[in-house]
Structure 1
Amino acid sequence: MRFSFGPFVLDTMRGTLTRDGCLVPANHKGVALLTALLRTPGEAVGKTELMDAAWLGAAVEESNLSVQIAALRKLLGGRGDGGEWIATVPRVGYRFAGSLSGSNGSCLGSGQEVRPLIAVLPFGIASDEMGKEYLAHGITDDIITALVRYRWFRVVLRGLALSQGEGPMDSASAATNSSGVHYALHGNVRLATQRLRISAHLVDAQTGEHLWAERYDLAMADVFAIQDEIAERVVAAIEPELLKSESLLAVTRHSGNVTAWDLVRQGMWHFHKVTREGHRAARELFRDACNIDPELPEAYSWLGRVSAGLIAYGWTDDASADGREGVAAATRAIVLDPRDPYSHYAFAIAHCYAGSANTAVLAAQSAIGINPSFALGHLVLGMALLFDGDARRAIAPLEHGLTLNPNDPQNVAWYVLLAYAQLLANDPCRALDSGNRALAVRPHFRPAFEVQVYSAAALGCLDEAKRWLARMHEVGGPGSYFVVPLRTNNPRYDVRITELTKKAVL
Structure 2
Amino acid sequence: MNAIHEHIHKSVMPESTPVLSRYFAELRRRKVFQVAIGYVLLAWVLIQIAEATFRPLQLPEWTNTLVVVILLMGFPIAMVLAWALEVTPDGIHRTAPGLDQGSTSPADSQPESSIAVLPFVDMSPEKDQDYFCEGMAEEIINALASIKGLHVASRTSAFAFKDVSEDMRTIGQALNVSSVLEGSVRKAGDQLRVTAQLIKVSDGYHIWSQRFDRRLEDVFAIQDEIAQCVVDALEVRLSTGEQLAIEKQSTADIGAYDHYLRGRKFLHRLGANNLAFARQMFSQAIALDPEFASAHAGLADTCSMICLYLKRDEKDIRQASESSQRALDLAPDLAEAHASRGLALMINSKYARAEKSFRAAIRLNPKLFEPYYYYARVSVQQGKTEEAICWYEKASKVRPEDYQSLLLATALIRKTGDKKKMERFANEGYKRAMRQLEVNPDDARAAYLSAVTLVNLGKQDEALRLADRALAIDPNDSFSLYNVSCLYSILGETEKALDLLERAAPGQALNRDWWENDPDLDNIRDHPRFARLLEGIFGSG
TM-score, with structure 1 as normaliser: 0.44
TM-score (norm: length of structure 2)? 0.42
Q: Which protein has the larger Cα radius of gyration, Structure 1 or Structure 2?
A: 2
Higher normalized contact order (CA 8 Å, seq sep 6+, divided by chain length): 2
| Higher strand residue share | 1
